[in-house]
Amino acid sequence: MTDLKDGREFVPGRLDRDARVYVAGHRGLVGSAIVRKLEAEGFTDVVGRSSAELDLKDRDAVFAFFREVRPDVVVLAAAKVGGILANSTYPVDFLSDNLRIQTNVMDAALEQRVERFLFLGSSCIYPKYADQPIHEDSLLTGHLEPTNDSYAIAKIAGILGVQAVRRQYGLPWISAMPTNLYGPNDNFSPKGSHVLPALIRRYDEAAASGAASVTNWGTGSPRREFLHVDDMADACLHLLEHYDGPQQVNVGTGKDVTIREIAETIAEVVGFEGATDWDTTKPDGTPQKLLAVDKLADAGWTARIGLREGLEHTVAWYREHAGALRR
């Protein structure tokens, strides 16, 4: 519970289905899933703006938008995101763009005294060699993974921004840190995608062309946790209605697999029967990144979509939309 500056005591509970909810990044992987979830749950006033309609890096435009729309609830799912290649190639962009997006949206929401605000970060905020599984208390206890440290620093700044608003203004803002997400509307482009959509595209194209082999980066030994984005959206609504606290909440499944295992499963799902080679001259990234989800479980939520089921659903979506996806 949060003691608000106007003397009221905030207690999490069921959100008004007629409340105006602004989802920043509503066309992205996470944002689009949150919109689907909210609409399925009966929310009648869900607001979104494309980047062409509203550049969240433009501070004046963001403030003008908030003054016009005056949302009751904000979910900040907008971010510049990418995989190892993109993060390591464009660190300035990932730092600058994300800091500006976060600062502008948070400051504009604060001006309007938006009471319920959910900031979404990433599990890359934790130290590269954090004890596994990674608990929320591991934040700022060690060195970050250098291939995505700029993005991680921006997301850490977002968490601290939420905490600062709680301390200075008494608003019950919260933040959640998802593990590796996948599902509909993911980025499947060769240069900008994360590992799972990259593997789906690679294996599906190899299966379609009859290629004899596929080559993946690294050794295949790192362990990763994967959460279907529809589960993430369900967790976001649950946290908005059941959680109030300054500490970020990990959102994941509590289970992980090796990159080699996930590659084998994807090959099976898409029907690729060739060989898989591993280019060990390429980086592996963090050796393991499994989130502890005790805090989330204590709040009353656990993941429901199994990995195989989620992959089959995602591959079907990818094949249906492949012609329109980013190249």
- Is 174 in contact with 136 (CB distance < 8 Å)? no
Question: 0.85 exceeded by the pTM?
Answer: yes
Is 32 known as a binding-site position? no
| Dihedral (Cα; 81, 282, 132, 264), 10-degree rounding | 90
The per-residue pLDDT for 6 is: 73
The per-residue pLDDT for 326 is: 56
Written as one letter, the residue type at 133 is P
Is 25 known as a binding-site position? yes
The 10s digit of each residue's pLDDT in 200-216 is: 999 999 999 999 999 99
Q: At 174, which CATH number?
A: 3.40.50.720
Is 155 known as a binding-site position? yes
201 lies in a domain?
A: no
DSSP codes joined into one string, 110-155: HHTT-SEEEEE--GGGS-TTPPSSBPGGGTTSSPPPGGGHHHHHHH
What's the rounded Cα separation, in Å, for the pair 72 and 112? 9
The per-residue pLDDT for 193 is: 74
Number of independent structural domains in the chain: 1
The per-residue pLDDT for 147 is: 87
281 lies in a domain?
A: no
What is the rounded end-to-end Cα distance, in angstroms, of the chain? 47
In the chain (327 residues long), the average pLDDT of successive 10-residue segments reads 74 96 96 98 98 97 98 97 80 96 98 98 93 97 93 97 97 97 90 84 96 96 96 98 98 97 97 97 85 98 97 96 70
What's the rounded Cα separation, in Å, for the pair 142 and 56? 31
- Write out the residue range of the structural domain in which residue 296 sits: 2-185+226-252+290-305
The residues carrying an active-site annotation are 151
Is 147 known as a binding-site position? no
CA–chain centroid gap for 131, Å, is 22
207 lies in a domain?
A: no
219 lies in a domain?
A: no
The per-residue pLDDT for 192 is: 65
Is 287 known as a binding-site position? no
Query: Which ranges in the chain belong to alpha helices (H)?
Result: 29-40, 59-69, 84-89, 91-111, 149-169, 195-209, 229-242, 259-270, 294-298, 307-321
DSSP codes joined into one string, 183-196: STT----TTT--HH
DSSP 248: -
318 lies in a domain?
A: no
What's the rounded Cα separation, in Å, for the pair 135 and 131? 8
The per-residue pLDDT for 276 is: 97
